Amino acid sequence: AQRVTQPEKLLSVFKGAPVELKCNYSYSGSPELFWYVQYSRQRLQLLLRHISRESIKGFTADLNKGETSFHLKKPFAQEEDSAMYYCALKRSGNTPLVFGKGTRLSVIA
């Protein structure tokens, strides 16, 4: 079975401080990992996926298969980063996403 764990419900950091949102997964095959973000009163949108290995809005995430983790990081948090962040996993192909419970990031000025 596929499972995604986000241990923190809420993470508060000061503006300019580093941010790390934790995500661990369990899946016996080769998963595709994603981070989705939901800003206040907006729909869920893709932030980044592990395959592309890109940095979006200063965020990066590295897939660590040994630790089965896909933590989201940003060196300097901005107020506009305040949002709900969901880590998600899917099998290859046209398959649904399995979401973690989400972490609310609050960046304090």
Q: Is 101 in the site for other proteins (CB under 8 A)?
A: yes
Instruction: Select the residue interacting with other proteins from 11, 22, 44, 73 (CB under 8 A).
Output: 44
Q: Is 29 in the site for other proteins (CB under 8 A)?
A: no
By C-beta, is 36 or 59 nearer to other proteins?
Answer: 36
Q: What is the Cα–Cα distance from 89 to 33, expressed in whole angstroms? A: 5
Cα 98 from chain centre: 12
For other proteins, the binding residues (CB under 8 A) are: 32, 42-46, 51, 86, 92-94, 96-102
